[in-house]
Amino acid sequence: MPAVRRAYRLATRTLRLPMWGGFDDWASPIVDLPFVARHSSRDPDDVRRRIGVPDGHRMVLASFGGLGIADLSLEPLADLDGYAVVTTGHALGLGAPVPEAVRLLDDRDVYARGLRYEDLVRAADVVVTKPGYGIIAECLANDTAMLYTSRGHFVEYDVLVSAMPRFLRCRFIDHDDLYGGRWQPYLDHVLAQPPPPDHPPTNGASVAAAHILA
């Protein structure tokens, strides 16, 4: 939008996050930041015990936030071999029977247990999601793989998907297999991937604060 472009041109310094796009006409000096991400300090095994993930199972965090997963079929997730699926408040109103292998957590209960969302990300082996900067950065900071699907018209999507393989073990799953619960081969594949080629720092918040304070 022209008004937004004019406003941005008034900036005297631009702090730019990784996985960027659309800076062709930027006038102010640009400072490239490391990733800004929340880091968990919790032991993953302790987190899994607190939320009831069975011993010997890999944890899958279904992270869809306000985007919703109302069409997700829970029953096929009971057939996942060696995985337990965890998701939070947005799924509690689905009304379908909940398989034993699926843990639906109320957001308030998560905080009542002394946990934060980044603790769930770190405890997970894989996050299943629609990609956005925040969840990508948290998976990177907490060394968690990502299984992602399309999020429709989202201007940042192509930029993010192009950049992710440099930083994360990741794989695409289409909507049919996602909502049908046919996750097993995708989960197995993404966890068998070698470590990503780049291991960038994730202390962008403190770096940005230092620039602002200066």
Residue 94 has a pLDDT of 52
Structure tokens at 112: 């009542």
CA 86 to chain centre: 13
- Verify that 30 and 86 share a domain, yes or no: no
Number of domains in the chain: 2
- Verify that 22 and 92 share a domain, yes or no: no
For residue 154, give the amino acid letter. Answer: F
For residue 78, give the amino acid letter. Answer: A
Kindly state whether residue 180 falls inside one of the protein's structural domains: yes
Helices (H), the chain: 2-8, 44-51, 107-112, 117-123, 133-141, 157-163, 175-179, 184-192, 204-213
Residue 81 has a pLDDT of 94
- Verify that 19 and 120 share a domain, yes or no: no
Question: Among candidates 73, 171, 72, which has minimal Cα distance to 126?
Answer: 171
- Verify that 144 and 53 share a domain, yes or no: yes
Q: Quick check: helix, strand or coil at residue 55?
A: coil
CATH (domain of 120): 3.40.50.2000
Count CB-CB contacts under 10 A for residue 26. Answer: 14
- Can you give the pTM of this predicted structure? 0.89
**Range(s) of the domain holding residue 177:** 44-192
- Verify that 157 and 60 share a domain, yes or no: yes
CA–CA gap between residue 206 and residue 209 (Å, rounded): 5
Provide CB contacts within 8 A for 16, sequence distance 6+. 23, 30, 31, 32, 33
* Mean pLDDT, the chain cut into blocks of 10 residues (214 residues total): 81 91 79 96 95 94 68 79 84 60 83 92 96 95 96 86 95 93 96 93 96 93
- Verify that 30 and 122 share a domain, yes or no: no
- Verify that 106 and 141 share a domain, yes or no: yes
Residue 69 has a pLDDT of 57
Kindly state whether residue 129 falls inside one of the protein's structural domains: yes
Residue 167 has a pLDDT of 94
Kindly state whether residue 147 falls inside one of the protein's structural domains: yes
* Region for residue 111 given its phi and psi (left: phi exceeds 0; alpha: psi -120 to 50; beta: otherwise): alpha
Residue 200 has a pLDDT of 94
- Verify that 30 and 48 share a domain, yes or no: no
CB 87 within 8 A of CB 62: yes
Q: Quick check: helix, strand or coil at residue 207?
A: helix
Residue 67 has a pLDDT of 45
pLDDT tens-digit map of 112-133 = 888 999 999 999 999 999 999 9
Kindly state whether residue 85 falls inside one of the protein's structural domains: yes
